[in-house]
């Protein structure tokens, strides 16, 4: 039994960011630190933020970030420090830089492009009226076929 | 012996798949009924062979036959029976066999069930499905044979990753694969439509039930996975925008778009090439996902069996299948005529907008997943694309789609009366705005986004109910008449309503859980406790218990409110000696739609110097809705599938309407 508990102990700490021994005394500072944790990657983990991770390095990074928050440094300064040490890889939210412009702008451009094309097409081909519209008899037959009450 | 039988059956399945592809193609070229029947027989035979192989592997797992390497690497004599069975698909080789089983199963289903399908369409569909089967079965036989023996035979197996030993995760892969691979048939139908040069209402009606079935399974599979993450990983997260989650989500987005565009094609004959494009895209995303998960190009929490060589082969299969499909599309699609003109303000118009947002959202998820790879290949810089990116791009796109959603089912086909529809949605909009304002009033402006999300959720739920009210002429016709109409509503209409209702409930759950979640952690000795969200938690006792294949430390925690006991939970920390891994079993206390989520942590010393345990507690408001909503969406798919319209073969429908 003792061996089992020793192993359990060796597996390590199973507490993420809410660990009471890690927390800052000031709730406002703690909240700021927690918000930052969610934007910072646990660099050795597989796609986890340091807020969620139980890895040792995540624990260390949390301590560093909390110390910097307590020392009154701004979010941007803290992020810059981490990028200086680990590279951009450490940020879960990529910076808006020339290299990442494609990443950030593509969704918007796609939406505008495809939306614009749809609008242009709708504008070009006039709305169906007259001969193309269904007669009341056709409407009734369609409703009977599709089990829909006529709108 | 069973392993050799299994290996033989798998090789035979490959041969039969080749026969299926060749005979079905010949049937189309020669217009020969004999070849067509032979192709159908081969499709059925291929399925039965893969089924036999699957059963052989199952027998090896159930009997813990460690002379089979796959069993030795993934099973253990002490594992509960459910997880011995689930171990079959717990590895790369086994899950690939499951993939092949689904692939040939869908082929056999079409061969047997779709009797009224026009012969040409059916032959080409089976030929395409056969070719897909050839590629994946060859991949299984030549690189990922699950029946390889091992010498010397180990006395004990290496066990399945304990994180995966969970009921939800045991059923997660079969459902997920049913979805992924269900789209293979949709892909084959699209290929057949392109070869035949006809994409019309009848084709859309043939494809929609298969899409609905696959979509429902995928929805349920993803939901089970999210639910597993929620209670198994030990801190209540349920979606991480992890590459592997994205790999399952991209086919879902494409299929959701397809379900909607296929309605337009079925009812109005419009958007034929776009519908075919989506049909090709859904399975392409499935294959891309299989490549991403299995090749090891992306690091991920869930990635398994990473092997670059197999990855290259999977990329080859994906490229060949998708390349051929889209080349055919580029060649044939421009010749397809689009019927059914419609005004921008019409039901078709809103469905086109739905497709616009879903397609851009799928492209965004694809870009976010692959961008780090592309950037690293191009410049050598390593970056991370995590949840903040998707929250800023994907979420607004979906929110915009959801804003217009309730208007869609109320608008008429061809040309809708927007003013009238908005009038009918007035009370739904009023309810949504009221909900958002009340939420904002109870909080402050830091919760503005959460409040907007709550409003959006109410808008979707009220909008879904407004649609039913409209269909039955509630308060505008006599109550008896409304009741009669309600009973007469087709299942397809209920499917729409339930699907949109489920989406609304999901949005409500996700926004409330994300915005108002509470958490705390304290070191407590037995008899001590703390408060969270109005509940008093007390650690009553803690002790050590023996499981079948693990040892655990278990705490007994009571939660009470105003002195009355609300529930008693027994969270655990389990240690699995076989893999030397520790997992958490959280204590979940259901409080209506919300969860009290209690995690039993490591041994620590309390503030007053006594030996104690770290106890973490979360209050997850409305978290149930996050899983209930998608479950309702999956159910909606099945309800819609049971509609009389879809069960009647198109041929018979023509006779009825004539």
How sure is the predictor about B299, in pLDDT bands with cuts at 50, 70 and 90?
A: low
Q: Find the residue in A nearest to B385 (Cα).
A: A92
Rounded Cα distance, B51 and B496, in Å: 35
Query: DSSP states of B429-489 as a string?
Result: HHHHHHHHHHHHHHS-GGGHHHHHHHHHHHHHHHHHHHHHHHHTTTTTS-HHHHHHHHHH-
What average pLDDT does the structure give for chain B? 89
Same domain, A11 and A61: yes
Neighbouring residues of B537: CB distance < 8 A, sequence distance ≥ 6: B529, B530, B531, B557, B558, B559, B596, B598, B615, B617
- Identify which of A18, A47, A110 has the shortest CB distance to residue B300: A47
Rounded Cα distance, A53 and A12, in Å: 12
Tell me if B224 sits within 8 A of B172, measured CB to CB: yes
Q: Are strands B518-524 and B529-532 parallel, antiparallel or unpaired?
A: unpaired
Render pLDDT for B385-395 as a digit per residue (tens, 0 to 9): 999 999 999 99
Mutation pick from B245, B386, B407, B420 vs chain A, by most beta carbons of A within 10 Å, is: B386
pLDDT of A147: 60
Contact criterion met (CB < 8 Å) for A94 and B389:
yes
Same domain, A84 and A131: no
Instruction: Choose among A36, A130, A93, A14: nearest CA to B571.
Output: A14
Asked whether residue A151 is domain-assigned, the answer is no
- DSSP annotation of B406 reads G
Adjacent-strand bridge partners of B599: B616
pLDDT (mean) for B584-589: 91
The structure tokens listed for B6 are 């299994």
Distances (CA, A) of B608 to A25, B604, B611: 19, 11, 9
Render pLDDT for B15-62 as a digit per residue (tens, 0 to 9): 999 999 999 999 999 999 999 999 999 999 999 999 999 999 999 999
Tell me if B619 sits within 8 A of B596, measured CB to CB: yes
Extract the residue ranges of chain A whose pLDDT is less than 70.
1-17, 125-139, 142-143, 145-151
> Is any Cβ of chain A less than 8 angstroms from the Cβ of B564?
no
Same domain, A46 and A120: no
Same domain, A106 and A79: no
> Is any Cβ of chain A less than 8 angstroms from the Cβ of B297?
no
Asked whether residue A96 is domain-assigned, the answer is no
Same domain, A81 and A36: yes
- Identify which of A38, A99, A119 has the shortest CB distance to residue B379: A99
Same domain, A111 and A142: yes
pLDDT of A135: 60
Contact criterion met (CB < 8 Å) for B384 and A128:
no
Same domain, A14 and A58: yes
Residue A110: domain span? 101-146
- Identify which of B235, B382, B392 has the shortest CB distance to residue A16: B235
The structure tokens listed for B242 are 């992890």
pLDDT of B396: 95
pLDDT at B302 over 70: no
Rounded Cα distance, B218 and A38, in Å: 29
Tell me if A81 sits within 8 A of B331, measured CB to CB: no
Instruction: Choose among B179, B166, B188: nearest CA to B221.
Output: B179
Asked whether residue A21 is domain-assigned, the answer is yes
Residues of chain A with Cβ-Cβ distance to B388 below 8 Å are 38-39, 92-93
Residues of chain A with Cβ-Cβ distance to B581 below 8 Å are 11
E-strand stretches of chain A = none
Domain positions in chain B are 1-165, 171-412, 425-515+628-658, 518-620
Contact criterion met (CB < 8 Å) for A41 and B384:
yes
In this prediction the ipTM stands at 0.84
Give chain B's radius of gyration (CA, Å): 27
Same domain, A79 and A13: yes
Residues of chain A with Cβ-Cβ distance to B366 below 8 Å are none
Tell me if B90 sits within 8 A of B37, measured CB to CB: no
pLDDT of A19: 76
Give me the CATH number covering residue A74: 1.10.8.640
Query: Does residue B286 or residue B345 have the better pLDDT?
Result: B286
Give the residue from A43, A67, A90 where a domain finishes.
A90
Residues of chain B with Cβ-Cβ distance to A90 below 8 Å are 384
Residues of chain B with Cβ-Cβ distance to A134 below 8 Å are 414
How sure is the predictor about B284, in pLDDT bands with cuts at 50, 70 and 90?
A: very high
CB within 8 Å of chain A, chain B residues 443-472:
471
- DSSP annotation of B237 reads -
Same domain, A115 and A58: no
pLDDT of B169: 83
Distance (Å) from the alpha carbon of B609 to chain A's nearest alpha carbon: 14
3-state helix, strand, coil in chain A (%, to 5): 60, 5, 40
Give the residue from A90, A111, A128 where a domain finishes.
A90
Contact criterion met (CB < 8 Å) for A4 and B519:
no
Residues of chain A with Cβ-Cβ distance to B357 below 8 Å are 111
Distances (CA, A) of B123 to B322, B325, B382: 20, 16, 48
Poorest-confidence range of B248-252, B378-382, B449-453, B590-594? B378-382
Residues of chain A with Cβ-Cβ distance to B356 below 8 Å are 111, 114-115, 118
Residues of chain B with Cβ-Cβ distance to A145 below 8 Å are 653, 657
SS3 B162: helix
pLDDT of B222: 95
pLDDT at B76 over 80: yes
Tell me if B554 sits within 8 A of B543, measured CB to CB: yes
pLDDT of A15: 42
Residues of chain A with Cβ-Cβ distance to B490 below 8 Å are 146-148
Buried b (16+ CB within 10 A) or exposed e, B576-596: bebbeebbbbbbbbebebbbb
The structure tokens listed for B630 are 């998608």
* Structural domains of chain A, count: 2
Distance (Å) from the alpha carbon of B33 to chain A's nearest alpha carbon: 32
Distance (Å) from the alpha carbon of B367 to chain A's nearest alpha carbon: 7
pLDDT of A130: 44
Rounded Cα distance, A13 and A58, in Å: 11
pLDDT (mean) for B491-495: 90
pLDDT (mean) for B310-337: 90
Mutation pick from B372, B383, B620 vs chain A, by most beta carbons of A within 10 Å, is: B383
How sure is the predictor about B570, in pLDDT bands with cuts at 50, 70 and 90?
A: very high
> Is any Cβ of chain A less than 8 angstroms from the Cβ of B149?
no
Contact criterion met (CB < 8 Å) for B300 and A46:
yes
pLDDT at B620 over 70: yes
Rounded Cα distance, B593 and B508, in Å: 11
The structure tokens listed for B639 are 């309800």
Same domain, A74 and A116: no
Mutual angle of helices B92-113 and B33-62, in 10-degree steps: 150
Contact criterion met (CB < 8 Å) for A47 and B352:
no
> Is any Cβ of chain A less than 8 angstroms from the Cβ of B342?
yes
What whole-number percentage of chain B has pLDDT above 90?
Answer: 59
Poorest-confidence range of A136-140, B91-95, B310-314? A136-140
Nearest-5° angle of CA B400, CA B403, CA B409? 125
Contact criterion met (CB < 8 Å) for A114 and B614:
no
pLDDT at B406 over 80: yes
Beta-carbon contacts below 8 Å between A and B: 167
Same domain, A30 and A83: yes
Mutation pick from B247, B371, B521, B642 vs chain A, by most beta carbons of A within 10 Å, is: B521
Rounded Cα distance, B218 and B251, in Å: 9
Same domain, A78 and A120: no
pLDDT (mean) for B557-565: 93
Residues of chain B with Cβ-Cβ distance to A38 below 8 Å are 387-388
Residue count of chain B: 658
Residues of chain B with Cβ-Cβ distance to A103 below 8 Å are 367-368, 371, 385, 389
pLDDT at B657 over 50: no
């Amino acid at each position: 039994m003792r061996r089992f508990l020793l192993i359990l102990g060796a597996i390590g700490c199973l507490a993420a960011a809410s660990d009471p021994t890690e927390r800052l005394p000031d709730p406002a500072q703690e909240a700021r630190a927690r918000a930052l944790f969610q934007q910072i990657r646990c660099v050795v983990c597989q796609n986890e933020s340091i807020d969620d991770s139980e890895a040792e390095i995540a624990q260390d990074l949390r301590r560093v970030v909390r110390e910097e928050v307590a020392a009154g440094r701004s979010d941007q300064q803290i992020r810059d420090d981490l990028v200086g040490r680990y590279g951009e890889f450490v940020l879960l939210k990529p910076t808006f830089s020339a290299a990442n412009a494609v990443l950030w702008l593509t969704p918007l451009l796609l939406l505008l492009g495809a939306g614009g094309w749809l609008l242009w097409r709708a504008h070009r081909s006039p709305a169906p009226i007259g001969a193309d519209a269904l007669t009341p008899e056709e409407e009734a037959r369609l409703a009977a076929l599709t089990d829909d009450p006529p709108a | 012996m069973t392993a050799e039988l299994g290996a033989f059956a798998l090789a035979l399945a490959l041969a039969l798949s080749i026969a299926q592809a060749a005979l079905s193609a010949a049937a189309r070229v020669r217009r020969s009924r004999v070849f067509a029947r032979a192709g159908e027989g081969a499709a059925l035979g291929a399925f039965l062979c893969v089924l036999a192989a699957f059963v052989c592997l199952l027998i090896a797992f159930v009997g813990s036959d460690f002379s089979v390497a796959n069993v030795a690497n993934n099973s253990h004599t002490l594992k509960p029976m459910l997880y011995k069975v689930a171990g079959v698909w717990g590895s790369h080789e086994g899950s690939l066999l499951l993939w092949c089983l689904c692939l040939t199963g869908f082929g056999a289903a079409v061969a047997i069930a779709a009797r009224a399908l026009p012969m040409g369409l059916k032959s080409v569909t089976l030929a395409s499905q056969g070719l897909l089967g050839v590629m994946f079965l060859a991949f299984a036989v030549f690189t990922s044979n699950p029946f390889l023996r091992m010498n010397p035979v180990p006395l004990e197996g290496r066990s399945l990753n304990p994180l995966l030993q969970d009921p939800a995760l045991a059923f997660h892969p079969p459902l997920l694969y049913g979805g992924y691979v269900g789209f293979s048939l949709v892909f084959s139908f699209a290929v057949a439509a392109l070869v035949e040069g006809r994409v019309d209402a009848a084709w859309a009606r043939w494809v929609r039930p298969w899409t609905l079935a696959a979509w429902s399974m995928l929805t349920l599979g993803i939901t089970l996975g999210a639910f597993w993450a929620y209670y198994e990983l030990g801190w209540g997260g349920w979606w991480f925008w992890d590459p592997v989650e994205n790999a399952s989500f991209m086919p879902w987005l494409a299929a959701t778009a397809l379900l909607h565009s296929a309605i337009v094609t079925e009812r109005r004959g419009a958007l034929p090439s776009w519908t075919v494009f989506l049909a090709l895209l859904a399975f392409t995303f499935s294959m891309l996902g299989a490549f991403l998960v299995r090749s090891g190009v992306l690091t991920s929490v869930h990635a398994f069996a990473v092997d670059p060589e197999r990855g290259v082969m999977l990329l080859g299969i994906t490229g060949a299948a998708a390349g051929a499909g889209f080349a055919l599309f580029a060649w044939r699609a421009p010749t397809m005529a689009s019927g059914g003109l419609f005004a921008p303000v019409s039901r078709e118009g809103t469905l086109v907008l739905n497709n616009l947002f879903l397609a851009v959202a799928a492209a965004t998820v694809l870009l976010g997943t692959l961008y780090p790879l592309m950037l690293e290949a191009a410049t050598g810089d390593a970056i991370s694309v995590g949840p903040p990116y998707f929250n800023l791009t994907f979420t607004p796109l979906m929110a915009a789609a959801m804003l217009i959603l309730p208007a869609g089912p109320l608008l008429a086909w061809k040309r809708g009366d927007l003013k009238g529809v908005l009038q009918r949605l007035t009370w739904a909009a009023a309810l949504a705005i009221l909900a958002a304002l009340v939420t904002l009033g109870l909080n402050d402006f830091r919760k503005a986004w959460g409040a907007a999300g709550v409003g959006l959720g109410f808008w979707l739920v009220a909008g879904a109910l407004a649609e039913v009210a409209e269909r039955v002429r509630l308060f505008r016709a006599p109550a008896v008449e409304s009741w009669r109409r309600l009973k007469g509503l087709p299942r397809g209409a209920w499917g729409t309503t339930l699907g949109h209702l489920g989406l609304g409930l999901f949005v409500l759950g996700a926004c409330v859980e994300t915005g108002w979640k509470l958490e705390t952690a304290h070191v407590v000795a037995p008899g001590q406790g703390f408060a969270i969200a109005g509940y008093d938690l007390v650690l009553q006792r803690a002790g050590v218990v023996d499981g079948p294949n693990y040892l655990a430390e278990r705490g007994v925690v009571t939660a009470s409110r105003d002195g009355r006991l609300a529930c008693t939970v027994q969270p655990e920390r389990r240690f699995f000696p076989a893999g030397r891994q520790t997992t958490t079993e959280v204590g979940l206390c259901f409080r209506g739609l919300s969860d009290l989520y209690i995690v039993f942590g490591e041994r620590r010393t309390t503030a007053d110097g006594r030996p104690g345990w770290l106890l973490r507690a979360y209050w997850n408001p409305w978290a149930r809705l996050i899983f209930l909503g998608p479950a309702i969406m999956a159910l909606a798919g099945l309800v819609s599938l049971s509609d009389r319209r879809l069960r009647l073969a198109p041929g018979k429908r023509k006779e009825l309407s004539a």
